[in-house]
């Protein structure tokens, strides 16, 4: 039965057109609606949508341009600030070097003055010590002379000789090199 229905449909389809929109009596209405829809689409796009998109693009372009200009200006300021910082650092280094040199020269002068003062004190103490040593040596030599005279008299007396105190004293002085 399905075969009979299909055969009947095929026979009736051969008498009709293949696709209804391609029938010529539909063309005028299709052209009307085509012109109406594309005209409306053209008007909406040209009057509303495309100007809005154009304005957005122009605003974006001007914003980007102004941002780039601002970035270039800030970059120039940063470069100038960097140069100013480098100059101030160089000045600070020079000033620090100068201050260190002044301090070093002042310290050297202070050390030289203190050294001279200490040397003078040491020389004074050495002179005093030499004076005391000379006085002690002189006293010791006097005592040595007296002790040597007494010892010489004792030795001469033990040998059984007699010598005068003046002779012994003269002999001791000549032996010590004073005489």
In this predicted model, what pLDDT tens digit does every residue of 127-165 receive, in sequence order?
999 999 988 888 777 777 777 777 877 877 777 777 777
Nearest to 145, CA basis, from 175, 118, 115: 175
| Model confidence at 22: pLDDT above 70 | yes
Q: Which two tokens stand for residue 94?
A: 């020079």
The whole-model pTM stands at 0.41
- pLDDT, residue 102, reads 93
For residue 94, tell me if it sits in a domain.
Answer: yes
Q: How far is CA 5 from CA 9, 14, 17, 19, 116, in A?
A: 6, 14, 20, 21, 140
Contacts of 162 (CB under 8 A, 6+ apart): 156
Q: Which two tokens stand for residue 144?
A: 């040595």
For residue 122, tell me if it sits in a domain.
Answer: yes
For residue 28, tell me if it sits in a domain.
Answer: no
Cα-only R_g, the chain? 67
Nearest to 171, CA basis, from 148, 154, 155: 148
Q: Which residue has the higher pLDDT, 56 or 163?
A: 56
For residue 2, tell me if it sits in a domain.
Answer: no
Q: How many domains, in total, are found in the chain?
A: 1
For residue 23, tell me if it sits in a domain.
Answer: no
- pLDDT, residue 8, reads 55
For residue 22, tell me if it sits in a domain.
Answer: no
HSE (side-chain half, CA atoms, 13 Å) at 86: 6
Banded pLDDT at 99 (limits 50, 70, 90):
very high
The rounded distance, in Å, linking the Cα atoms of 61 and 55 is 10
- pLDDT, residue 157, reads 77
pLDDT tens digits along 166-176: 777 777 777 77
Q: Find the mean pLDDT for residues 21-40.
A: 90
For residue 34, tell me if it sits in a domain.
Answer: no
- pLDDT, residue 6, reads 55
Domain containing residue 94: 42-176
Banded pLDDT at 11 (limits 50, 70, 90):
low
- Mean residue pLDDT of the chain comes to 85
Q: Find the mean pLDDT for residues 58-77.
A: 95
Q: Which two tokens stand for residue 167?
A: 């002779």
The rounded distance, in Å, linking the Cα atoms of 165 and 146 is 11
Beta-carbon count within 10 A of 172 CB: 21
Q: Which residue has the tokens 């910082």?
A: 85
Banded pLDDT at 42 (limits 50, 70, 90):
very high
For residue 88, tell me if it sits in a domain.
Answer: yes
| Model confidence at 43: pLDDT above 90 | yes
């Amino acid at each position: 039965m399905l075969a009979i229905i299909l055969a009947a449909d095929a026979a009736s389809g051969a008498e009709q057109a293949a696709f209804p929109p391609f029938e010529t009596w539909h063309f005028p209405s299709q052209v009307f609606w085509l012109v109406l829809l594309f005209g409306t689409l053209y008007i909406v796009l040209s009057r509303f949508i495309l100007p809005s998109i154009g304005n957005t693009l122009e605003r974006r372009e001007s914003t980007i341009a102004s941002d780039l200009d601002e970035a270039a200006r800030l970059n120039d300021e940063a470069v100038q600030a960097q140069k100013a910082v480098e100059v101030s650092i160089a000045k600070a280094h020079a000033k620090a070097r100068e201050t260190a040199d002044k301090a070093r020269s002042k310290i050297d002068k202070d050390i030289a003055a203190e050294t001279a003062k200490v040397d003078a004190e040491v020389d004074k103490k050495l002179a005093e010590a030499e004076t005391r040593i000379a006085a002690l040596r002189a006293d010791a030599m006097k005592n040595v002379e007296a002790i040597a005279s007494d010892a010489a008299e004792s030795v001469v007396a033990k040998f059984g000789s007699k010598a005068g105190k003046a002779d012994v004293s003269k002999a001791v002085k000549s032996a010590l090199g004073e005489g």
